[in-house]
Amino acid sequence: MSVTETLSAIDPEAVAETQAAAPSEELLRLVVEAFQALADPTRARILYALVRRPMRVRDLAILAGVSESAVSHQLRFLRDRRLVRSERQGNAVIYTLDDHHVAALFREAEHHADHVRLGLPDHPYRIP
């Protein structure tokens, strides 16, 4: 027996409204994958660097403080989740963010972190 079969809603209208607005399972999976990818300090350092500008593996390794092999492994992980992309320029492979949404995720996470760190109250904003 599942939890939903054993529990009755305290506010059935709120539950029904929220269920109707819930993302699809596929969208939820992709959101979770993106947050899992962001949840690693090395990957976060790589992405922070790529927010500033496109870069090569060796330069990312210096900034992330890990080996080129480790950066390549992390870039593959990020590429599989469509957070970064690569482009060959002659003999060099240049990495960039896949799109501007990655930078926006970091900005929002930084705002949240500042609120937590400084004990600031929330400001009016509601996810549609």
Phi (first) and psi of residue 7, to 5 degrees: -105, 145
Between the alpha carbon of residue 37 and those of residues 49, 56, 91, 116, 123, the distances in Å are 15, 20, 28, 22, 27
Q: What is the pLDDT of residues 47-65, one digit of tens each?
A: 999 999 999 999 999 999 9
23-118 adopts what CATH topology? Arc Repressor Mutant, subunit A (1.10.10)
User: Taking the domains of the chain in order of start, what are their residue ranges?
Assistant: 23-118
Predicted local distance difference test score (pLDDT) of residue 81 = 93
Predicted local distance difference test score (pLDDT) of residue 122 = 81
Q: What is the pTM of this model?
A: 0.81
Tell me if residue 7 falls in helix, strand or coil. Answer: coil
Between the alpha carbon of residue 36 and those of residues 29, 33, 39, 77, the distances in Å are 10, 5, 5, 11
Residue 51 has a CB neighbour count (10 Å cut-off) of: 16
